[in-house]
């Protein structure tokens, strides 16, 4: 797999994890109303994965 493909996959996976975690209560998969620890962890991990994807994409263009 090329570096660009890996970057795109990381970016998309991170954004999807962030969105699902942030909207877990609305989707009916949240444990209880409000943001719990699992949701917060999913949000943080999603942002980190998306950031790694962005870094990987940007570093290959320079």
45 vs 60: CA distance, rounded Å: 23
What's the total number of domains in the chain?
1
25 vs 35: CA distance, rounded Å: 8
- Tell me which residue range forms the domain holding 28: 3-61
What the block records as the tokens of 52 is 């790694």
pLDDT of residue 6: 93
User: What band does 30 get if pLDDT is binned at 50, 70 and 90?
Assistant: confident
Comparing 20 with 1, the larger pLDDT belongs to 20
């Amino acid at each position: 797999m090329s570096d660009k493909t890996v970057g795109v996959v990381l970016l998309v996976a991170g954004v999807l994890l962030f969105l699902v975690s942030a909207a877990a209560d609305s989707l009916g998969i949240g444990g209880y109303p409000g943001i719990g620890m699992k949701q917060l962890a999913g949000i943080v991990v999603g942002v980190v994965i998306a950031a790694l994807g962005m870094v990987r994409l940007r570093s290959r263009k320079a």
